[in-house]
Amino acid sequence: MVADARAVWATATVESVGTAAADVALVRLRSDHYGISAPAGSHLDVRLPLAHGDAVRSYSVVRSSSGRVDVAVRLAPASRGGSRAMHALSAGDTLVTTQPLQGFALGAAASSYVLVAGGIGVTAILPMARELVASGREVALLYAGTDRTRMPFLDELAELLGPRLDVRASSEGCRIDPVEPARLAAASTDPMRAEAYVCGPVPLLDDVRRAWSSAALPSTNLRFETFAGGSGSGGSFSVRVPALGVDAVVGPEETLLDALVREGVPVLYDCRRGECGLCVMSVDDVVGRVDHQDVFLSDAERAEGRTICTCVSRVSPSGGSSASASLALR
């Protein structure tokens, strides 16, 4: 939504902090600039003071009304510190956020909707389910997680969707087969007008996208949003930029881009979620393997192995215990 794209930063007050599931905090924020209600698919950008300085994190709006916004935050042990700071909040605290911003809008023209939530990605999907049910649309939701106790909003979704909710908990041996969304779309009344909305970790999305494309469904009907660092492989690794004499360690709580900026590497960036491609650098040499977490590079570009999207992707050890990369500005 072009008209809503300008972020306005203002102070918000924490009204309450509760628990949505194990390790998932439900934070209710209040601010005059939140407006009446946020459309499904919107998120807040939140400025958090972390050890190395302020950082910006995005959280989907799970519910909103009259100046209040709820976000649900999973505490990620390997996180970059954002989720820990959010979990440390209590009523009366203040923090600086944008108004709800739209980056994952729900289209109204589809003949049917397949929703796919992986883990905390359900936060973006839940308001979509609410809106689609309220307007009487054909909708089904595949919701995957590790364990039911760690999956928020199960009760609300079950009440909303009944048998149209399909829960896959890996603790019960159930997973989403990446071909399922395409199959559900193909089996719907008008497959070429069926849309799927996926929010989850990048590997799941990659697999779903390949299956969608092999089913010859229109690529624009597969909508997705990712969350940075979703795979949890936040180990440290070293990075060198020989042309600039940089040799540094990327800590477990920071991104490769954070480390490069800290070391004074003049790298451009914008979205910080692996979409825009501005922060891409050339990979001259790598020990271990590049763990691509972006949606900017194509499969072919990834296979070539010459580029990395520094805002979300990392280097992990493969076999041996060390991981490092030698990069160059493009």
Q: Which residues are at the interface with other proteins (CB under 8 A)?
A: 1-3, 16-20, 26, 28, 36-37, 39, 63-66, 68, 70, 90-91, 103-109, 131-132, 134-135, 137, 219-220, 223-226, 271, 275-277, 295-298, 300-301
Strand, coil or helix: what is 308?
strand
Distance between CA atoms of 231 and 229, rounded to whole angstroms? 6
Q: Are 228 and 255 in contact (CB under 8 A)?
A: yes
Least CB distance from residue 177 to other proteins, whole Å? 22
Instruction: List all residues 6 or more positions away from 88 whose beta carbon is below 8 Å from its beta carbon.
Output: none
Least CB distance from residue 244 to other proteins, whole Å? 25
Which residue's CB is nearer to other proteins, number 123 or number 288?
123
Instruction: List all residues 6 or more positions away from 255 whose beta carbon is below 8 Å from its beta carbon.
Output: 80, 228, 229, 272, 310, 311, 312, 314
Least CB distance from residue 208 to other proteins, whole Å? 12
Which residue's CB is nearer to other proteins, number 143 or number 296?
296
Distance between CA atoms of 79 and 74, rounded to whole angstroms? 10
How many beta carbons lie within 10 A of that of residue 60, not counting itself?
Answer: 28
Which residue's CB is nearer to other proteins, number 55 or number 222?
222
Least CB distance from residue 190 to other proteins, whole Å? 14
Which residue's CB is nearer to other proteins, number 129 or number 239?
129
Which residue's CB is nearer to other proteins, number 19 or number 322?
19
Give the CA dihedral 142, 145, 148, 149, nearest 10 degrees. Answer: -140
Q: Which residue has the tokens 């106790």?
A: 149
| 42 CA to centre of own chain | 12
Least CB distance from residue 288 to other proteins, whole Å? 24
Which residue's CB is nearer to other proteins, number 38 or number 46?
38
Least CB distance from residue 174 to other proteins, whole Å? 25
Least CB distance from residue 106 to other proteins, whole Å? 8
**Assigned token pair, 128:** 């979509």
Select from 2, 204, 195 the least CA-distant residue to 103: 2
Least CB distance from residue 136 to other proteins, whole Å? 9
Q: Is 92 exposed, middle or buried (0-12, 13-18, 19+ CB in 10 A)?
A: exposed
Buried b (16+ CB within 10 A) or exposed e, 163-199: ebbbbbbeeeeeebebbbbbebbeebeebeebbbbbb
Which residue's CB is nearer to other proteins, number 112 or number 254?
112
Which residue's CB is nearer to other proteins, number 103 or number 235?
103
Give the CA dihedral 126, 141, 116, 24, nearest 10 degrees. Answer: 40
